[in-house]
Amino acid sequence: MLATATIRWMYKRRMRKRLHDLKRKFLMEQFKEEEFEAKLNYVAQKNKSDVGGEEKSKEDGKEKLEILVDQNQGSPQKKKKQG
């Protein structure tokens, strides 16, 4: 009887710890998602205000995004291609 009670107590303790860990993980993921959304909104607003001053010409309303990698630098560069 004492052994059964001890095993139940250990099981419940383990489940409470697991629940606590999962809640913490979920909250951290949710916080990271909100932070990422805020960064995206900030960048979108910044780009929106920057693009407002520039002249853009579009053909048929389509834009293509081309990523170029410079072999010497190794860092990708993004280039908008009209067409």
Residues 72-75: contacts with CB under 8 Å, at least 24 apart: none
Query: What's the whole-model pTM score?
Result: 0.47
Q: Is the predicted pLDDT of residue 82 greater than 60, yes or no?
A: no
For residue 68, which of 56, 76, 60, 57 has the smallest C-alpha distance?
76
Can you say how many angstroms the Cα of residue 55 is from the centroid of all Cα atoms in its chain? 31
CB 25 within 8 A of CB 17: no
How confident is the prediction for the chain on average, in pLDDT?
Answer: 79
Task: Quick: pLDDT tens for 31-66.
Answer: 999 999 999 999 988 888 876 554 454 545 666 666
- Which phi-psi region, left, alpha or beta, contains residue 59 (left: φ > 0; alpha: ψ -120 to 50)? beta
Which tops the pLDDT comparison, 61 or 7?
A: 7
